[in-house]
Copies of this chain bind each other. A is one copy, B any other.
Amino acid sequence: MTDTQLAQPHAPAGLPPLAVLERMYEVMRTVTVTDERARAEAKAGRMPAAFYPVRGLEGVCAALGAVLTPDDHLVSTYRNLADTVAKGVPLRAVIAELHGRVPGSSKGKGGTMHMHHDPSGLMATTGIVGSGLPIAAGLALGAQLDGGGRAVAVTFGDGATSIGAYHEAMNLAALWHLPLVFVCQNNMWAEHTPIAAYAPSTALAERAAAYNMAADAVDGFDPIETWRVLGAAVARARAGEGPTFVECRTYRLVGHTSSADYSYMPPAELDAALARDPAPTFRAWLADGDHVAPARLDEIDKAVDTGVDDAFDFAQSAPHPEPGAIYDDVFADRTWVEGR
């Protein structure tokens, strides 16, 4: 990771403070461990859920989590484990939701693709590619009308840049100078199709700049660089200077879903990416550069592992919703609903 400062006007100088470095590592490690565990549980049939692995995004999400406060709003996708953890949603609530249990973040009725956690500012996740962007624009409109100071972020994949909703939201955010950060998690794949096969131009940040908004691309495997660029974007939003598009270039380290194969991924490409596996790479950098003491890293690792075990134990022993709960929360009032 380089320590050079970006030309970005609002880029925070230097490195994140120790507490932030530690928190970023904790998030990355939590995500890596939880992701592996969730896939194992799904495979073993203990977690009857479609699950979308996030391996490769650890650094991007940790950086985003570090520059947002709980008051800032976030909208994410089906591939949301790293976003939710980084945004501060309690792991027990996340894992219980993946298991369809009452203490889940959505009382077990939303599932993998539908995480909501108001106290952490996780306002929605969507299973429809691109659809979170217009909603995030609305949240940003809310923040703007509230008088500013709050930022909104939305995460989405590289593939989402093809769809209409993306365009409409980019356009609206630029037009209204919304305090919105578009965080493109470019993992180079849309399901089994590589970006070059579906994008006439893979210069996603350049395409974004054509909307007349600030745009930047960053190495998403470098959590520090990502932290700087996302930090600058969030600062711009808070300052009322409008939206920013940040392309975070990563690589999808596993299949599209927990069950997908890797056969279509060029092995050399995948190996090169795996060699930069975010959490262990960041750990080595923290230790080698004397940023965080090895003993402290060991402590974090242990706490994370315990926390992950705890979350799965908790989830798997938590109750399912009562049958009658099926009618709750369709509308504020369930009377009419039950009769249909």
Binding site for B on A (CB under 8 A): 162-168, 171, 174-175, 198-201, 206-207, 209-213
Contacts and interface: CB of A to CB of B under 8 A. Distances in A.
Given A210-B207, A211-B207, A175 B199 contact: yes
Given A162-B171, A168-B162, A210 B206 contact: yes
Contacts of A168: 162-164, 167
A200 B212 CA distance: 6
A175 B198 contact: yes
A71 to B, nearest CB: 27
Contacts of A174: 200-201
A260 to B, nearest CB: 24
A163 B165 CA distance: 8
18 contacts: A162-B171, A163-B168, A164-B164, A164-B165, A164-B168, A166-B167, A171-B199, A171-B200, A174-B200, A175-B198, A175-B199, A201-B211, A201-B212, A206-B210, A207-B210, A207-B211, A209-B210, A210-B210
Contacts of A210: 201, 206-207, 209-210
Which of A162, A174, A200 has the most chain B CB within a 10 Å cutoff?
Answer: A200
A166 B198 CA distance: 17
A255 to B, nearest CB: 25
Given A162-B168, A164-B164, A200 B207 contact: no
Contacts of A166: 167
A236 to B, nearest CB: 15
Task: Tell me which of A164, A166, A209, A213 has the highest count of chain B C-beta atoms within 10 A of its own C-beta.
Answer: A164
Given A167-B168, A175-B199, 5 more contacts: A166-B167, A167-B167, A174-B201, A201-B212, A210-B210
Contacts of A164: 163-165, 167-168
A204 to B, nearest CB: 10
Nearest to A175: B200
A134 to B, nearest CB: 10
A167 B212 CA distance: 16
A136 to B, nearest CB: 16
A190 B72 CA distance: 35
Contacts of A175: 198-200
Contacts of A213: 200
Contacts of A201: 174, 210-212
A168 B168 CA distance: 11
A56 to B, nearest CB: 25
Nearest to A197: B175
A214 to B, nearest CB: 12
A171 B160 CA distance: 12
A212 B201 CA distance: 6
A213 B206 CA distance: 14
A109 to B, nearest CB: 30
A175 B207 CA distance: 14
| CB-CB nearest 8 A-B residue pairs | A164-B164, A167-B167, A174-B200, A210-B210, A201-B212, A175-B200, A200-B212, A207-B210
